[in-house]
Structure 1
Amino acid sequence: MASDTEGQIFPFKWTEVQFVYTIAIWILIASLARIVFTYLKPLKKWFPDSSLIIIVGLVLGVFIRLTLSGDVSLDAHVFFLYLLPPIIFDAGYFMPNRAFFKNIDSILMFSLVGTVWNCFAIGGSLLFLSHYNVFSVQFSTFEILIFSALISASDPVAIIVVFEEIHVNEFLFINVFGEALFNDAISVVIGYKND
């Protein structure tokens, strides 16, 4: 008995590539929307780019939920394989390399020492409060330290956007930008070491 794809040079197997193509189309539409938003000056006056991209993402998410059959969910595999690389590429491509490496000492000081200090300050204060039964639910020391590692990384995206618009001092901008790049990775390492 012959199969449906016999004799075809390129057989059409949508079910095997449906999810990858859906993610690729989502990234393409978001990229095109970002390009269009950069040319819409009156719209940028009232809404920042990030809010418009969030709206596009919500519309695409609702569209995907309504049109695709089956359960569509965002898990860690999809995030790390399809969504994170374009984000990292964008951050690395537009990073001012010369200023970044010129100020790497202060950037590492702020990100490493600041994130570790935040982690232990938050964890220590939460442990102190848990000994006095301040919380309605009892948490273990491990859970408190994992939470403090998660929450200790500050993400100054809004500050970076404002700094770009007002053209703040390059030293201040690159320190905040570099600290934002490194502190997430440092908090992941702290959380992993606690695990």
Structure 2
Amino acid sequence: MTSYEILCLLSALSLVISLISSRLHRWQQTITITALALGLSLVILIAGKIFGVELYSTLVTDLEQLDFKALLLNGMLGFLLFAGALQIKLNVLKQQRWEIFVLAFVGTLISTLIIGGLLYLLSGLLELQLDFSYCLLFGALISPTDPIAVLAIIKQLGAPEDIAIQVEGESLFNDGIGLVIFVAISQVAFSTEPLTIAGVSGLFVREALGGLLYGGILAAILHGMLHFSEERTQYLLMTLLVPSAGYVGADMLGVSGPLAMVTSGIIIGNVSVPKLLKEHEWQHLDSFWLLIESFFNSLLFLLLGLLLLLIHFDAELWWFMLLAVPIVLIGRTVSIYLPYIGFRRFRHYNSYAEKILVWGGLRGGLALAMAMSLPTGVVIISGSNIDLRELLMVMTYAVVVFSILVQGTTIPNLIDKSNAEHEAQRKS
């Protein structure tokens, strides 16, 4: 089958599973889709191993042909980030701007270093010593909370506004920062040419600041198009230019596409929409992007479950799989609680704020896409036949599944408690 045919069939399957999940009110839709897709993958995997079912090999071939990394990083990611950013209220974001900045930038760096350091120490204890740059690589790809997973699950649970905007704002910005850090460390780890601190710093500045600036330019261009357009029915189609052609432009310029999408989405949603569109037009725009977001989310979480078929499990990898989750949770905990020591000196927060930020820091397709972008067969861990990419893929997949199925299903309990505390404080 062609990639287009595969996408059509997967889209239909995601809609069927979405229909089933809508009848199961116990779990949020994206969690249900992932769980059902994982169950389907396990059935196919077991049947293929035992009976040699042809369906197994066919599905594996089709999924490999689809190229999940390119589909997400160069396709769906831009649309989902732009859709999420359109919903962010700038006045609320400003109230939490310093917290979001510190968590997205400094917190991601802290988490990367802690996760990388712990993995380096534990790999030595397991007598499968990894190079420190490879450990940092895992820290960089797994530290950013996935905005797609977070926005799909957290924003629908009704957390207190100050906590919700921190979770949403951090997830929208730190994925771009994480991608920049990941690219920089990848160059250090795999480049055959000597790299300097100035060179790596320049790459970081170009990607991050360039992405923010480029996003502002995209927003200004779209604002002008909306302003001068006489055909008002075209405004929906015009907004598609940003995450499509705009994202391609970011890649060509060598700046961060994710940061550009977030920046342009926030500006358009808070400046262009209220200034240029009438209320009913704004409602149409909101419904239009909600539809796109829902469709891509369903497809993405279906793919996350089916990617189990592409993971190559090895007996030597089980310890790393088991250790990946606590390592990541430790890194996340320190990167949240440490900044909050300073935050609480200047502002009062709900006592559940740190807990929700730690447990609500979900990982998803973005981390897997970064892991899949690593070269295959280029770097082999010394003393073992295990490919580095396979190792990081297995660890990443374990963290992603745990965060969606365990953290995603239990975070409502923390949010309910925080809401109860918020309500009690409001009445007192």
TM-score range, shorter chain: 0.5 to 0.7
The Cα shift of 1:155 comes to 4.5
Q: Helix, strand or coil for the counterpart of 1:121?
A: helix
Q: Which residue of 2 aligns with 1:52?
A: 32
**Equivalent residue letter for 1:72:** T
State yes or no: 1:23 paired with 2:7.
Answer: yes
Q: Which residue of 1 aligns with 2:79?
A: 89
Unaligned runs of 5+ in 2: 45-53, 187-428
CA deviations over 1:62-102 (Å, ceiling 9, x no partner): 5xx72985851544972244355345534532442324753
Q: CA RMSD in A?
A: 3.8
TM-score w.r.t. length of structure 1: 0.64
State yes or no: 1:178 paired with 2:203.
Answer: no
State yes or no: 1:164 paired with 2:148.
Answer: no
Mapped to 1, the partners of 2:174 and 2:8 lie a distance apart of: 29
Say whether the 8 Å CA contact 1:154–1:180 is kept in structure 2: yes
Change (3 A) 1:161 1:60: same
Change (3 A) 1:126 1:60: closer
**Equivalent residue letter for 2:3:** F
Change (3 A) 1:31 1:88: farther
Mapped to 1, the partners of 2:134 and 2:41 lie a distance apart of: 35
Q: Which residue of 1 aligns with 2:185?
A: 194
Counterpart mapping for 1:1-195 below 5 A:
18-31=2-15, 33-34=17-18, 37-38=21-22, 40=23, 43-45=24-26, 47-58=27-38, 59=40, 62=44, 66=55, 69=58, 72-75=61-64, 78-83=67-72, 85-86=75-76, 88-95=78-85, 96-99=87-90, 101-102=93-94, 103-127=96-120, 129=121, 133-155=124-146, 157=149, 161=153, 164-165=156-157, 167-195=158-186
Change (3 A) 1:180 1:56: same
Kindly, what percent of the aligned residue pairs are identical?
A: 24
**Equivalent residue letter for 2:11:** I
Change (3 A) 1:73 1:187: farther
Mapped to 2, the partners of 1:125 and 1:82 lie a distance apart of: 32
More off after superposition, 49-58 vs 112-121: 49-58
**Equivalent residue letter for 1:134:** L
Unaligned runs of 5+ in 1: 1-14
Q: Which has the larger radius of gyration?
A: 1
The Cα shift of 1:143 comes to 1.7
Higher RCO (Cα < 8 Å, 6 or more apart): 2
The Cα shift of 1:26 comes to 0.8
As a proportion of its length, which structure holds more helix?
2
Mapped to 1, the partners of 2:9 and 2:162 lie a distance apart of: 38
CA deviations over 1:93-148 (Å, ceiling 9, x no partner): 24423247534443232111100111123334555x379x5341122222222122
More off after superposition, 47-56 vs 151-160: 151-160
**Equivalent residue letter for 1:108:** F
Runs of 4+ in 1 over 6 A off after TM superposition: none
TM-score w.r.t. length of structure 2: 0.33
Mapped to 2, the partners of 1:29 and 1:57 lie a distance apart of: 10
